Amino acid sequence: MREVGDELYQRMLEEAIVAARDDGETTEETWTPQITIGASVLIPERYVEDLTVRLGLYRRLSNLIDASGIDSFAAELVDRFGSMPEEVENLLEIMAVKQLCRRAGVEKLDTGPKGAVISFRNNAFANPEGLIGHIHRNNQTMKLRPDQRVVCMFDWNRPRTRIPGARKLMRKLVEIAEA
């Protein structure tokens, strides 16, 4: 982990977990959105020293399917290991964003200091008319590129503003997709 960095390690771990569960084909139930936030998202060794326990926690976290599961998991972490460091809080927030991405059909969410770029699974969105209307109403901050990606321009200079911003953005997309 020290050699490849936190984000790459996390991504590699997620891919390994998906591959272990997958028989070579990504089904509707197993696909995992890719999220880049630019923040450290992991369970640090100083928080959970035992590698086996940490890997078990990652495995359990990857199987959570709703916000209440994440909340219960967070409460368990605090009970077992004490108050959570920022990296763990970020990890749990990202898991919540991933759940929203799955519901909205967002395959990839890349965020940075100037906003976000959103790619949809199979270049399709459940409610394209609603999405186009939303982009049109927010044409100062949102654009649809010719490659079917949505660009959102926000002032997200710090990772701590990106995570809540990404969550809010994904909630809106879920609302539009499920309308």
pLDDT over threshold 60, residue 23:
no
Tell me if 69 is assigned to some domain.
yes
Q: Tens digits of per-residue pLDDT, 114-163? A: 999 999 999 999 999 999 999 999 999 999 999 999 999 999 988 788 99
User: 47-103: per-residue pLDDT in tens?
Assistant: 999 999 999 999 999 888 889 999 999 999 999 999 999 999 999 999 999 999 999
Asked if residue 76 belongs to a domain, the reply is yes
Q: How far apart are CA 39 and CA 91, in angstroms?
A: 9
Q: How many domains does the chain have?
A: 1
Q: Can you read off the two tokens belonging to residue 26?
A: 């990504």
> pLDDT value at position 159?
76
CATH number at residue 119: 3.90.1150.50
Instruction: Please name the residue ranges forming H helices in 22-85.
Output: 51-62, 67-81
What string of DSSP letters covers 121-154? Answer: GGG--S-HHHHHHHHHHTTTTEEE-TTS-EEEE-
Residue 90 main-chain phi, psi, to 5 deg: -60, -45
Whether 1 is in a domain gets the answer: no
pTM: 0.81
- For 81, the domain range is 6-177
Is 93 a member of any domain? yes
